[in-house]
A and B are shown apart, each in its own frame.
Chain A
């Protein structure tokens, strides 16, 4: 269920915490297995993390459903997480999100027909001076305009 490579990565995180505190690594373990599973979690994966870290399954589920960055439904190959909070809103995030929805023919929360992208409205990502902005994978894209979004979408193909 969890690949050897993922186990190695999880072990690295576990080694940061004191003896007997492997559960401190649960958030990263979930992040790692989610990445391996095309961006979402499921019951079997959460159980596998619980077994690997020797935690009750319910504790893992609590964490997996509390934090925003875990997905419990399939997502597109790339997830565009668009900030719609105050500083981005004042600089046009709503207009850009609408532009994106029209262009991709998706609503926020949905996956594009070709499965390439899904769009998610999220709360403040802490890059307010660069608003409007979005996150794709590990990367932040700031000072967005329709031109820049076109280019970003082109590069994702």
Chain B
């Protein structure tokens, strides 16, 4: 556990430059500045490692980096997506707080590979503690002569800056993030052209997620094969998972890909006394919900979760026990997507409102029998008909919740109340963590 991104999390002063350096940090970057590694070697190692984009899409990182036109004249950019906001996800926050130098080193390496001399880390505006930690780390890296121009008398330059968001889930979509970085509303762009050709300020840009960048230095230090062997076929390495919801000890865990879900549940302290597992959302609110039986069979890697009928997504495991009302839970998620739709595409702007209002109507006891089919039909009409994936993300939970728990929705519509015996949360006691 905790072998890559959370490597230093239990050490004293985990975010400090000295802790990072004492445990092998900046070794790869110094080698690069000494001219001991070439961009092609780095891309080959990353391809061997099997590292896939940790933000949710799972695109192979080595391949993504190889798309950048590194020999094209003019400015190019490296951008880190630290706009973490997928409900249930909070491990990038801990990487920024406890291992900021790994993100800096990963971004600097990316800059070298893609011949980009400037990088931005887009941190969500609410993450002030992570922002201050990251800024401190940046300052230390500059003072050590590891960031800036003509580093260690080489021809390599890399300047890195932070940018702060101001509250918009959609900015986690890479092209919305670029728009936001340019000082505009965060509305996703049409693709193609992809950011590798037309990105920030119209220049070639590579965007990766915080965890992806943070994994790079350790991969290059210990070798792509080492990382690949930590995981399973098609899912190399370790992955940070946030385990939240109805567990005794919600927490972030970095475990090898392929770890059984049951093991992860155990790490999080298991369920509360007397409760039964009801459902699990394995990859964040945008991924399909699974029933308890299915979840208990799966392992935490891309293929196993896909076979179970969902997605690994951002590694955000939301656990629900038998006191959870599915109608209320889905309504809350529907409200989220309705609130966060950027308004650009009609199916999403209008459809998310329809989904939320119909679900709220059911929750208020005014549902009609035909509402369930109408909900599914609205979801279908959003799916695939929008510029970005937020529309699909809004429709996915509706479809999967109703498919797996239809009986519960029907009961609610018929009786005007939940069939689940909900228990009040113990908010008066000090939490047991």
Is there an interface contact between A127 and B166, defined as CB atoms closer than 8 Å? no
Chain B nearest CB from A115 CB (Å) reads 23
Question: A124 vs B252: C-alpha distance in the bound complex, in angstroms?
Answer: 16
B166 touches which one: A30, A89, A128, A131 (CB < 8 A)? Answer: A30
Cβ of A145: which chain B residues have Cβ within 8 Å of it? 427-431
A90 touches which one: B128, B168, B246 (CB < 8 A)? Answer: B246
Q: Is A91 an interface residue (CB 8 A)?
A: yes
Given contacts A96-B427, A145-B431, whether A124 and B167 have CB atoms under 8 Å apart is no
Is there an interface contact between B245 and A87, defined as CB atoms closer than 8 Å? yes
Question: A145 vs B93: C-alpha distance in the bound complex, in angstroms?
Answer: 23
Q: Chain B, 76-120, contact with A by CB distance < 8 Å: what is the 0/1 string? A: 000000001111111011000000000000000000000000101
Given contacts A68-B168, A145-B429, whether A89 and B242 have CB atoms under 8 Å apart is no
Is there an interface contact between B183 and A126, defined as CB atoms closer than 8 Å? no
A-B contact count (CB 8 A): 169
Is there an interface contact between A27 and B166, defined as CB atoms closer than 8 Å? yes
**Which residue, B181, B251, B333, B427, has most C-beta atoms of chain A within 10 A?**
B427
Q: Is B320 an interface residue (CB 8 A)?
A: yes
Q: Is A129 an interface residue (CB 8 A)?
A: yes
Stretch of B157-165, B212-220, B403-411 that contacts chain A: B157-165
Is there an interface contact between B87 and A87, defined as CB atoms closer than 8 Å? yes
Q: How many residues of B contact A (CB 8 A)?
A: 66
Cβ of B87: which chain A residues have Cβ within 8 Å of it? 85-87, 123-124, 128
Cβ of B427: which chain A residues have Cβ within 8 Å of it? 92, 95-96, 99, 132, 144-146
Is there an interface contact between A129 and B340, defined as CB atoms closer than 8 Å? no
Is there an interface contact between A28 and B336, defined as CB atoms closer than 8 Å? no
Interface set, chain A 17-68, CB cutoff 8 A to B: 17-18, 21, 23-28, 30-31, 55, 59, 62-63, 66-68
Given contacts A87-B318, A145-B431, whether A23 and B183 have CB atoms under 8 Å apart is yes
Is there an interface contact between B252 and A129, defined as CB atoms closer than 8 Å? yes
Is there an interface contact between A25 and B183, defined as CB atoms closer than 8 Å? yes
B251 touches which one: A55, A126, A129 (CB < 8 A)? Answer: A129
Chain A nearest CB from B188 CB (Å) reads 13
Q: Is A113 an interface residue (CB 8 A)?
A: no
Chain B nearest CB from A139 CB (Å) reads 8
B182 touches which one: A23, A30, A67, A99 (CB < 8 A)? Answer: A23
Q: Is B186 an interface residue (CB 8 A)?
A: yes
Is there an interface contact between A123 and B164, defined as CB atoms closer than 8 Å? no
Question: A45 vs B194: C-alpha distance in the bound complex, in angstroms?
Answer: 36
Given contacts A87-B245, A124-B86, whether A69 and B163 have CB atoms under 8 Å apart is no
Q: Is A143 an interface residue (CB 8 A)?
A: yes
Is there an interface contact between B246 and A27, defined as CB atoms closer than 8 Å? no
Q: Is B206 an interface residue (CB 8 A)?
A: no
Q: Is B316 an interface residue (CB 8 A)?
A: yes
**Which residue, A17, A95, A140, has most C-beta atoms of chain B within 10 A?**
A17
Question: A125 vs B181: C-alpha distance in the bound complex, in angstroms?
Answer: 20
A31 touches which one: B166, B182, B245 (CB < 8 A)? Answer: B166
Cβ of B134: which chain A residues have Cβ within 8 Å of it? none
Chain A nearest CB from B16 CB (Å) reads 21
Q: Is B153 an interface residue (CB 8 A)?
A: no
Given contacts A31-B125, A90-B318, A138-B128, whether A129 and B244 have CB atoms under 8 Å apart is yes
Nearest opposing residue in chain A for B431, CB measure: A143
Cβ of A26: which chain B residues have Cβ within 8 Å of it? 183
Given contacts A23-B182, A123-B339, A124-B336, whether A68 and B167 have CB atoms under 8 Å apart is yes
Is there an interface contact between A18 and B75, defined as CB atoms closer than 8 Å? yes
Given contacts A23-B183, A123-B340, A138-B129, whether A128 and B163 have CB atoms under 8 Å apart is no
Q: Is B155 an interface residue (CB 8 A)?
A: no
Chain B nearest CB from A6 CB (Å) reads 15
Question: A90 vs B250: C-alpha distance in the bound complex, in angstroms?
Answer: 11
Is there an interface contact between A63 and B245, defined as CB atoms closer than 8 Å? no
Nearest opposing residue in chain A for B92, CB measure: A126
Is there an interface contact between A86 and B245, defined as CB atoms closer than 8 Å? yes
Question: A125 vs B127: C-alpha distance in the bound complex, in angstroms?
Answer: 8
Is there an interface contact between B168 and A66, defined as CB atoms closer than 8 Å? yes
Given contacts A95-B425, A96-B427, A123-B336, 4 further A-B contacts (CB under 8 A): A27-B166, A31-B166, A67-B168, A128-B316
**A residues adjacent to B (C-beta < 8 A):** 16-18, 21, 23-28, 30-31, 55, 59, 62-63, 66-70, 81, 84-87, 89-92, 95-96, 99, 122-132, 135, 138-140, 143-148
